[in-house]
Every structure is written in structure tokens, then in C-alpha cells.
A and B are shown apart, each in its own frame.
Chain A
Amino acid sequence: NAGVTQTPKFRVLKTGQSMTLLCAQDMNHEYMYWYRQDPGMGLRLIHYSVGEGTTAKGEVPDGYNVSRLKKQNFLLGLESAAPSQTSVYFCASRDLRDRGYTFGSGTRLTVV
């Protein structure tokens, strides 16, 4: 009964380094999302996917790339990390029937 699993849970990067955050869900959900959460700003949508092989931009996509090669996985990449990308990142998924989102436990990323 795993739900949505995110790895890693914590990471410290130096400016300019790259990394990939992995999100995996075992509920056969079609839709998957990446959000970032910053103090006072709530959850902001970075990228999302409506099915395997598809991706689309959200409201804050700059500096991030995503891929959905398999239905159960949604990867978020930072090609050249910047201090402004210090945040808590949440992955979420939902099915086609517009039920509630299921969130992963989050990744706390610090860029120094």
C-alpha cells in the first residue's frame, strides 16, 4: 500500500549541479504532477503529465524538465541548480475521475 513514493527525501546541491527527483506511484493513476512549496506561497505547479509519454508546463516551469517514460514514474530534473530552487518538492497523482490527489512525502532540496 505504498501510494506515491518520492526519492530522495533530502538533498543539498551546489549551484550549477544537476539532479533528478524520482516519483513512483502504484495506483495506476493517469495524471501526475510536480509542485514546489515555499513559505507563504502555497503549492505551485511546475509540470504535469496526463499520461505516459506526455508532459506539460505548469505555472513555474523555468529551470526544470520532466519525463514520463512509464506510467508509474514521473521524473523531475534540474539541469543547473540555482539557490532560487531551494524548496520542498511534492509529487502527486490522481486518476481520471477527478478524485483527490495523493501526495508523496516530499523532497527537501537546498541549493547552496
Chain B
Amino acid sequence: QQPVQSPQAVILREGEDAVINCSSSKALYSVHWYRQKHGEAPVFLMILLKGGEQKGHDKISASFNEKKQQSSLYLTASQLSYSGTYFCGTGNTGNQFYFGTGTSLTVIP
């Protein structure tokens, strides 16, 4: 049930771009993205509900391909504050919701 994320870890220099992928073996109704700083709780970034939908906030955006059961998170011109672990979360039409194993993102000067 747990979605699979790739890559598991990535190191970037400030200003570089990154893509984090999330895929599921089950049909999806929604995809969430969260960021977790070390020792803190996950913080909600965005939710995508429709197939092919794209959303964005500042330099972080995401896409959701319902047919392929995949979502991608795009981080553009990364900043030091982007460092953390990114989780996707996927839900079906029921009430269960599962998080991926996470992608560790480190941005260095």
C-alpha cells in the first residue's frame, strides 16, 4: 500500500533544481506532499486531486498523473531552507492514507 519514492536521497547546491517522484500500485484519488525538518513534524506543502493536475507555490510545484498513478514534486532554484525529508502521501476513495518512505534533500551553499 505504501507508495514508492525516488530518489531516496539527493544533494544539491543552492540554485539547482530537483525532481522527486512518487508512484503507487493502487488507483489514486489524491496525492499530498509534505516536508519534514529534522526532529520536527511533517508540514503540508500541497494536495493534488485531479488527473494531470499541476500545482505550485513559489518555486515548488507538483504534478499528478492519475492514469499512471504517479506524482512528481519539482523544486526550482533550490534554497538552503528547502533541506529536509519530503514525503508523498496517497489516498484512495476510502479513508486510509499512506505515506511514502521519504526522500532526503540536502541543499549546500
**Chain A contacts of B98 at CB under 8 A?**
45, 59
Interface size of B as a range: 20 to 34
A101-B91 contact in complex given A42-B102, A43-B99, C-beta closer than 8 Å:
no
**Chain A contacts of B91 at CB under 8 A?**
98
Of B30, B40, B44, most A-chain CB atoms within 10 Å: B44
The minimal Cβ–Cβ distance linking A20 to chain B, given in whole angstroms, is: 20
Interface check B42, CB cutoff 8 A: yes
A42-B41 contact in complex given A31-B95, A48-B95, C-beta closer than 8 Å:
no
Q: How distant is the Cα of A108 from the Cα of B45 in the complex, in angstroms? A: 24
The answer to whether A106 and B41 have CB atoms under 8 Å apart is yes
The minimal Cβ–Cβ distance linking B23 to chain A, given in whole angstroms, is: 14
Picked from B42, B47, B95, the residue with its CB within 8 Å of the CB of A43 is: B42
The answer to whether A48 and B42 have CB atoms under 8 Å apart is no
Q: How distant is the Cα of A45 from the Cα of B96 in the complex, in angstroms? A: 8
B-side residues, CB < 8 A to A, are: 1-2, 29-30, 32, 34, 40-47, 49, 87, 89, 91, 95-102
Q: How many A-B residue pairs have CB under 8 A?
A: 57
Closest 9 CB pairs of A and B: A100-B44, A103-B41, A43-B99, A42-B101, A42-B102, A42-B99, A50-B95, A103-B42, A105-B41
Interface check A56, CB cutoff 8 A: yes
**What mask results when residues 70 to 112 of chain A are scored 1 for a CB within 8 Å of chain B, else 0?**
0000000000000000000010000000111111111000000
Chain A residue nearest to B33 in the complex (CB): A100
Picked from B40, B49, B100, the residue with its CB within 8 Å of the CB of A105 is: B40
**Chain A contacts of B95 at CB under 8 A?**
31, 48, 50, 56
The answer to whether A98 and B44 have CB atoms under 8 Å apart is no
Q: How distant is the Cα of A98 from the Cα of B50 in the complex, in angstroms? A: 13
Chain B residue nearest to A49 in the complex (CB): B95
**What mask results when residues 48 to 70 of chain A are scored 1 for a CB within 8 Å of chain B, else 0?**
10100000101100000000000
